Chain A
């Protein structure tokens, strides 16, 4: 590879008719690492991936993948990448094996080799038993794994994953995570987009937070979490009348001033040692015989995180997608 960076982008811009999708995005992903693009819906993540995967031509800026320019050397780029888009692009009217063999042929492997490669990939992604079935009847996780396998025909240097686990159940997410971790362990550079903080946290070496088509922050998952703020302990009183007593108790346990929300009978307090604070608060509440409706640790939502990261100057705008985002950052329950 002429460049040490597997993916490099400078000042990418892209405007669609009515909307600025990218407003100067920079990226630098060293080979062999997993890099996350984290942001809410409409942040420009998909547009960035489409440009890097040669599907969309940028209006401005430049980008190279595996050392090749995505616009002028798109053919070379296409030989070095795999793409798993938002939809699972597998053919439901063919078996899993037929799918992989067909893609192998389209990646221009000779027939025997395409077949052999299909077998290897079925094994790698634990799909041997489902090989002769149509993906139509696969679980979400299995479909995604087949989709990943189809992207890995040529063992690409760089793999693009656009929201690989959106719409999957927790089991499916774990399956896909495992597959991605495997690929990464074997040296594939992975660029993935997600709006789940926990997903980025689990899979990525580094994370770029983008919104409104701009980079905000780039950091390691640990660093990002520090910037976003600590976990909060939340306690909801069963009887609103006991809220003040409960707040006093929690304050004495964690030793920090708490904030209370009377309308929801909720107490919230930042805690550096989340699990410790949770267990001791719960024990104390029980010892005092107080009734609570809920107790738990909560990380800041993506909304709060963006507010925090951007110093409050740039709230995540009033987008229709917003009602969904808070949930996505909480732990999968």
Chain B
């Protein structure tokens, strides 16, 4: 096509062969991450709404329900902020997979996925870029909620190292659930269906040690709640934050006594299952 005078494209296409494939994949991934953050900057109100949900939940649980909760054995409301905040952190991470799923479905629905796939970019970039962007987003979410928590009197009693580890465990859970989100997002037909993921997300968030110790639930429900991956993370970070009154209840479930291990292993198991599923689903787009 030598006669192409098409607005004189001056670029040297040989630049594409320079550098290894990995470098290009990383660059493509970063471009997608930047796209996500452009969204954030251009739509601060959407971000505010998204962050508003966990903040409202914090205030509701601490001040509305919390005043009736006795989780430390020292009377209703006592120490509930310290108990609920780690749970709130964990639940925000747990529910985040819905944002991932929604964004993936949206991209698929709007033809973005097709456009990306018809381009000579790295095939994995839309997925890796989404994962990186969502982890960064999660870190921002955590920072904002932690700020609110500090305002209402929450403090970490753990060392700086332990506190940092707690936040890393939270991001670790979020990272694992990103692949659940990507898998679901690719499997779901449209964004309307993505909205109904709440039906799955809510039990995952609430039937857990997030707001109530499983030991206080009916036996069978308590077992489910205790073995919920979100519970392991919530309980592990409570330990790391040296939450007062945490040993008020004897752990009734094996996993409850091994929360730190659970908080590390559970997300790894989730990833081991859903990363291949997400990749398979992505490849099946070309069927």
> Which A147-183 residues sit within 8 Å CB-CB of chain B?
150, 152, 154-155, 157, 183
Residue B196 CB within 8 A of the other chain: no
> What is the total number of residues of chain B having a CB less than 8 Å from a CB of chain A?
40
Q: Can you give 7 contacting A-B residue pairs, CB < 8 Å?
A: A57-B286, A85-B115, A88-B110, A89-B112, A103-B119, A105-B31, A155-B6
In Å, the complex CA distance between A294 and B281 comes to 55
Taking CB atoms, residues of chain A closer than 8 Å to B38 are 93-94, 98, 102
Name the residue of chain A whose CB is nearest to the CB of B117.
Answer: A55
Q: Is the CB of B118 within 8 A of A186?
A: no
Of the candidates A53, A123, A134, A189, the one whose C-beta lies within 8 Å of that of B7 is: A123
Q: Is the CB of A53 within 8 A of B4?
A: no
In Å, the complex CA distance between A116 and B8 comes to 11
Taking CB atoms, residues of chain B closer than 8 Å to A50 are 114
Once A79-B16, A108-B24 are accepted as A-B contacts, the answer to whether A91 and B11 lie under 8 Å apart by CB is: no
Q: Is the CB of B11 within 8 A of A109?
A: yes
Q: Is the CB of A88 within 8 A of B111?
A: yes
> Which B25-40 residues sit within 8 Å CB-CB of chain A?
27-28, 31-32, 34-35, 38-39
> Which A117-132 residues sit within 8 Å CB-CB of chain B?
117, 120-121, 123-124
Residue B22 CB within 8 A of the other chain: no
Taking CB atoms, residues of chain A closer than 8 Å to B27 are 105, 108
Q: Is the CB of A93 within 8 A of B5?
A: no
B residues engaging A (CB < 8 A)? 1, 3-11, 13, 15-16, 24, 27-28, 31-32, 34-35, 38-39, 42-43, 109-112, 114-121, 125, 285-287
In Å, the complex CA distance between A75 and B118 comes to 9
Q: Is the CB of A117 within 8 A of B9?
A: yes
Q: Is the CB of B1 within 8 A of A120?
A: no
Q: Is the CB of A108 within 8 A of B121?
A: yes
Once A107-B121, A155-B4 are accepted as A-B contacts, the answer to whether A117 and B11 lie under 8 Å apart by CB is: yes
Interface size class of A (residues with CB under 8 A): 35 or more
Once A87-B111, A106-B31 are accepted as A-B contacts, the answer to whether A78 and B119 lie under 8 Å apart by CB is: yes
Taking CB atoms, residues of chain B closer than 8 Å to A102 are 31, 34-35, 38
Q: Is the CB of B6 within 8 A of A106?
A: no
> Within the complex, what minimum Cβ distance (angstroms) separates A148 from chain B?
12
Taking CB atoms, residues of chain A closer than 8 Å to B3 are 32, 186-187
Q: Is the CB of A55 within 8 A of B31?
A: no
Name the residue of chain B whose CB is nearest to the CB of A119.
Answer: B7
Q: Is the CB of B287 within 8 A of A56?
A: yes
Taking CB atoms, residues of chain B closer than 8 Å to A103 are 119
Name the residue of chain B whose CB is nearest to the CB of A14.
Answer: B287
Name the residue of chain A whose CB is nearest to the CB of B7.
Answer: A120
Q: Is the CB of A91 within 8 A of B35?
A: yes
Taking CB atoms, residues of chain A closer than 8 Å to B7 are 120-121, 123-124, 155
Taking CB atoms, residues of chain A closer than 8 Å to B16 are 79, 108
Q: Is the CB of B6 within 8 A of A187?
A: yes
Taking CB atoms, residues of chain A closer than 8 Å to B42 are 93-94, 134
Taking CB atoms, residues of chain A closer than 8 Å to B24 are 108
Residue A86 CB within 8 A of the other chain: yes
In Å, the complex CA distance between A55 and B113 comes to 10
Name the residue of chain A whose CB is nearest to the CB of B30.
Answer: A105
> Within the complex, what minimum Cβ distance (angstroms) separates A52 from chain B?
10
Once A32-B3, A78-B120, A187-B6 are accepted as A-B contacts, the answer to whether A89 and B111 lie under 8 Å apart by CB is: yes
The list of the 9 closest CB pairs from A to B, nearest first, reads A87-B111, A89-B111, A89-B115, A155-B9, A155-B6, A83-B118, A78-B120, A187-B3, A93-B39
In Å, the complex CA distance between A277 and B52 comes to 70
Q: Is the CB of A32 within 8 A of B120?
A: no
> Within the complex, what minimum Cβ distance (angstroms) separates B169 from chain A?
31
Taking CB atoms, residues of chain B closer than 8 Å to A187 are 1, 3-6
Q: Is the CB of B110 within 8 A of A89?
A: yes
> Within the complex, what minimum Cβ distance (angstroms) separates A1 from chain B?
7
Q: Is the CB of A186 within 8 A of B4?
A: yes
Q: Is the CB of B39 within 8 A of A183?
A: no
Q: Is the CB of B34 within 8 A of A106?
A: no
0 or 1 for each of A25-55: is its CB under 8 Å from B? (1 = yes): 0000001100000000000000000100111
Residue A188 CB within 8 A of the other chain: yes
